[in-house]
Structure 1
Amino acid sequence: MPELTEKEKMLAGRLYFSNDPVLKRDREIALIKTQAYHGTSPELFEARLGILQDLLGSCPTDAEIVSPFHCDYGYNLHIGHHFYANTNCVFLDCAEIRIGNHVFLGPNVQIYTALHPLDPELRKQGLENALPVVIEDDVWIGGGAIINAGITIGHGTTIGSGSVVTRDIPPNVVAVGNPCTVLRQLKPD
């Protein structure tokens, strides 16, 4: 059986060398595309949409991401219909980030899939791994919230501004704080 590439290790959630030349080039391509997006006037909707659809793993025609934003690779970011991300959002998409329909992100929301080893010797070697993030349908995430690697946020949930989500959040709740905890249950639709 052939040895996995660093990219294959990354996508499998295994330790991988983040400065692998292929991964570095993929990040450069994502940066070039995001800079093109940021440099395209907002009234040129079709051109901006084309850049997003070329950059992201999946992007419907009714998605809106306000400039600027950042992603590591783009191809691991999948967004649903009627998605809206306000300015300065960060998507560290070393693993898949799957965002459902009717999801709204406030400004400065950060979604991290990247993890670094606790062992400093492994960190010195440039090794890291990544775990996917899932944000289900009808979620609102307030400005400045941080969503950590491996997290699932259930449908219909609201995450308060400035929250740091360190564990899964169930559906149809309001959750706030650092660490983010459920404040109250919402009625299902």
Structure 2
Amino acid sequence: MTASERDKMAAGEWYSCLVDELEALRMTARNAVHQHNAMAPIERGNMASALRVLFGAVADDVFIEAPFHCSYGINIHLGARVYLNAGCTILDSGRVAIGAGTMLGPNVQIYCAEHHRDAVLRGQGLEVAKPVTIGADVWIGGGAIILGGVTIGDGAIVGAGSVVTKDVAAGAVVAGNPARPLRRVST
């Protein structure tokens, strides 16, 4: 039996994102995101119900500001007290796990998909999904970009505007493009 493109995506294998099943999942996510972004804050509360139902896992006290965008939603797992500021984008073709107490500044972007380097294959929609894991009590400054395959350890700080291309150790402070260690978090 041949694996579906969704199965390949979940397994971290090369898959085509241009199939009806994945487009249907993205359309469901677009509708949930639209509901979240269009609702008045007093009606939306911490997040729109359609968005809450969409996610793979989400704690009751997660707060997501509008606007927000995700590509699938089903691969997003958010721990207790996670806060996503306005303009956050999570392209979750791979699993994205964000630990308890973590805060993302405005316009933080998380990209799991890596498109094929061969132009012909890229044109056929071939990409691979790489997971992103962000530990507990992490602070990610506004405008930071987190690339697929990255793990950020508990208590780390990522400076505003940084591009994180490699793992960040627990308690580390990183900044820059690409992000580099500056020091350890002082308590």
Q: TM-score range by the shorter chain?
A: over 0.9
Deviation at 1:45, TM superposition (A): 4.4
Deviation at 1:154, TM superposition (A): 0.5
Q: Counterpart of 2:58 in 1: which secondary structure?
A: coil
Aligned residue number for residue 58 of structure 2: 59
Task: Between 45-54 and 24-33, report the one with greater CA deviation.
Answer: 45-54
Q: Counterpart of 1:75 in 2: which secondary structure?
A: coil
Aligned residue number for residue 29 of structure 1: 28
Aligned residue number for residue 159 of structure 1: 158
Using the alignment, how far apart are the partners of 2:64 and 2:49 within structure 1?
13
The CA RMSD over aligned residues, in Å, is 1.3
Residues 89-116 of structure 1: CA deviation (Å, up to 9, x unaligned): 0000001000000000000000010001
Residues 91-145 of structure 1: CA deviation (Å, up to 9, x unaligned): 0000100000000000000001000111222112211111000000000000000
| 1:161-180 mapped onto 2 (5 Å cutoff) | 161-180=160-179
On the 8 A contact 1:40/1:47 being kept in 2, the answer is: no
Deviation at 1:61, TM superposition (A): 1.1
On the 8 A contact 1:52/1:59 being kept in 2, the answer is: no
Residue 184 (1) aligns with residue 151 (2): no
Structure 1 spans left out of the alignment, 5+ residues: none
Letter in 1 for 2:60: T
Provide the identity percentage.
Answer: 43
Aligned residue number for residue 7 of structure 1: 6
Using the alignment, how far apart are the partners of 1:53 and 1:67 within structure 2?
14
Aligned length: 187
Residues 35-74 of structure 1: CA deviation (Å, up to 9, x unaligned): 0111222112459452232121111110001001100000
Deviation at 1:152, TM superposition (A): 0.2
Aligned residue number for residue 105 of structure 1: 104
| 1:75-154 mapped onto 2 (5 Å cutoff) | 75-154=74-153
